[in-house]
Structure 1
Amino acid sequence: MDDEADLLVVNVTMAGAGLLGYGIHMVLFILATCLLTRRKTAGKKLLLVYTVAMALFGTTQLGLSVAQVVFTVQLFVQGGTRGQLAAGSALNLAPSFIFFTNNLVSDSLLLYRCFLIWGSQWPPVVLPGILVIATCAAGYNTTINSISHHAPLFDALAPNIFAAVTNLTLVAFTVGRIWWIRRDAMRVFHGAEVLNCYNTAIAMILESGALLLVPTILVIMPTPAVLRDILKGIAVHLINIAPTLIVVCVGLGHDIQDTVQSLHGNTFTAHPQVSIPVPPLQPPLSRQVLHIKQSDNDDPWATAKVC
């Protein structure tokens, strides 16, 4: 009965942690949908699609976790055989596939944000895009081989390592671009208001990145089994909590939207400095207004706005 008892403890622990993460996600989901439907937010249809998709993934994950607990309890009470225990392990196949598919959708939203911040240029997002796909592929491979007992192409920790590297790359590329434009903007604008505008954007991106990165690193590091199970249960919903939190901030008109909206005109060129034409012999102004043409693309991070 030791195998059944261990499986019961693992599944109950992960389900309990997952229930906590799911509750937080649902609160943010309801808030995000209310804000997007009641406010005239640019690109709200796209954001609603992503938000609803992540909510469906999270609900499915929780349902499968509960099903695993019910199956394990029945197995423990009835004194199931090792063959039945193996069948219970095979039940992990569906949650794992859904998890890595969910991670692909969540990362694609962050990748799209990075793409827009770089002025809709493809070269800067090629590497992060490859890492996003590699994370999903490694997760699928390790999941299949854990059930089929075939020699895996990747180590069991490979998906977590790929996920950590992907998260770091997306954060670095996004923050790096905002910092670069912030440096150019400070040559034109002088004052704490402009500086705080860009610093707020950078801080929020770092916070959302840490929200995903810290649990991943803790899972990779040697940790007690119970703590690892709790982290895995929470991580299932953290990949939805971080992007949904960003959607909430966009709906409120705070966070990166106010800053990043003004970045769309600064496309990735060989000379990215901000240029403001000034008529000859015109005396310098204490504060000039930077006008950036709004793109026709209806995106939440593509609408021109001055900080």
Structure 2
Amino acid sequence: MAETTYTCSVFEAVFATIRLSHPLYNLPMQNMVDSSQIDSSWSFFMRTLSQTGVSLLLYGIYICLFLFSTHVLARRRATHGRKFLMAWSCVIAAGGTAQMAVTLARAVKDARFVENLLHREVSNSTPTLLIAECVIWVANIFVADFLYMYRCYVIWDCRWRILILPGLLMASTFVAGPC
């Protein structure tokens, strides 16, 4: 069996000795963070980024559909309720845009939270964005559901009894919502 020998230059040996004994190379790792503290925050942040990405994709599709429907309604001959539908569509689009802005702000805030966690500068911030998101969500759902109930009312020849089931479903949406 052949023996393997390793040789190094004098320069390499001296450099290795300096590196091991120099105080700059032996600093304690002060910014080390226990991974168990970060794991849950990191998975929360990844979930937030995923939700934000899907929300942006769906919002882009919604804006295209909104612009197309507004274009179609604007070119349609004057019919009963056309202006009302256009105005209500604009209200729903404004609510969706506000909710998207709050969702993006929350994603940025979550990114800053994880960054501060890594640097041990975590502060207990108020859930202002979460409250704003819930308020906008409730308002947007209410406006959209009201529009659909109005459409049911008109389509079914102004019969109030037909609104019982949609009204119950609307109420259950608010009870079971994410807020």
- TM-score (structure 2 length as normaliser): 0.68
- Deviations 1:236-283 (CA, angstroms, capped at 9, x unpaired): xxxxxxxxxxxxxxxxxxxxxxxxxxxxxxxxxxxxxxxxxxxxxxxx
The CA deviation string for residues 166-200 of structure 1, in whole angstroms up to 9 with x for no partner, is xxxxxxxxxxxxxxxxxxxxxxxxxxxxxxxxxxx
- 1:136 maps to 2:174: yes
Which residue of 2 is the match for residue 39 of structure 1? 76
The residue that corresponds to 1:57 in the other structure is 95
Q: State the AA in 2 paired with 1:56.
A: A
CA drift of 1:3 comes to 3.5
Whole-Å separation in 2 of the counterparts to 1:124 and 1:33 = 28
Q: Which segments of 5 or more consecutive residues in structure 2 lack a partner in the other structure?
A: 1-37
The 1:35/1:46 distance shift into structure 2, 3 A limit, reads same
Q: Give the Å deviation of 1:137.
A: 4.3
Q: Distance in 2 between matches of 1:38 and 1:4?
A: 50
Partner in structure 2 of residue 83 of structure 1: 124
Asked if 1:10 is matched to 2:51, the reply is no
The whole-number CA distance in structure 1 between the counterparts of 2:166 and 2:71 is 31
Number of aligned residue pairs: 138
The secondary structure found in structure 2 opposite 1:81 is: coil
Could you tell me which of 124, 128, 138 is aligned with 1:100?
Answer: 138
Change in CA separation of 1:20 and 1:41 when aligned onto 2, cut-off 3 Å? farther
What letter is aligned with 2:124? G
**Residue 48 of structure 1 aligns with which residue?**
86
2:146 is matched by which residue type in structure 1?
S
The whole-number CA distance in structure 2 between the counterparts of 1:70 and 1:38 is 40
Please say if residues 101 and 136 of structure 1, whose CA atoms lie closer than 8 Å, have aligned partners that are also in contact: no
Residue 27 of structure 1 aligns with an amino acid whose one-letter code is C
**Which deviations, in whole Å up to 9, do the C-alpha atoms of 1:16-75 show, x marking residues without a partner?**
000000100110111111222222142211111121011111111111111011111112
Aligned to 2:148: 110
- Could you say which structure has the greater relative contact order, defined with CA pairs below 8 angstroms and 6 or more residues apart? 1
Show the 5 A alignment for 1:17-32: 17-32=54-69
Structure 1 runs (4+) deviating above 6 angstroms are: none
> Where does residue 74 of structure 1 map in the other structure?
112
AA aligned opposite 1:103: I
- 3-state DSSP of counterpart to 1:83: coil
Q: CA RMSD in A?
A: 2.0
1:127 paired residue among 151, 154, 165 = 165
Tell me the CA shift for residue 98 of structure 1: 1.5
Pairs within 5 Å for 1:212-227: none
SS in 1 for 2:124: helix
Aligned mates of 1:36, 1:117 — CA distance in 2: 18
**What's the CA shift for 1:138?**
4.3
Q: Which moved more, 1:46-55 or 1:101-110?
A: 101-110
Measured in 2, the distance between the counterparts of 1:125 and 1:72 equals: 41
Distance 1:125 1:135 in 2: 15
| Distance across 2 between alignment mates of 1:78 and 1:98 | 28
1:242 aligned partner: none
Does the Cα contact within 8 Å between 2:116 and 2:122 map onto a contact in 1? Answer: no
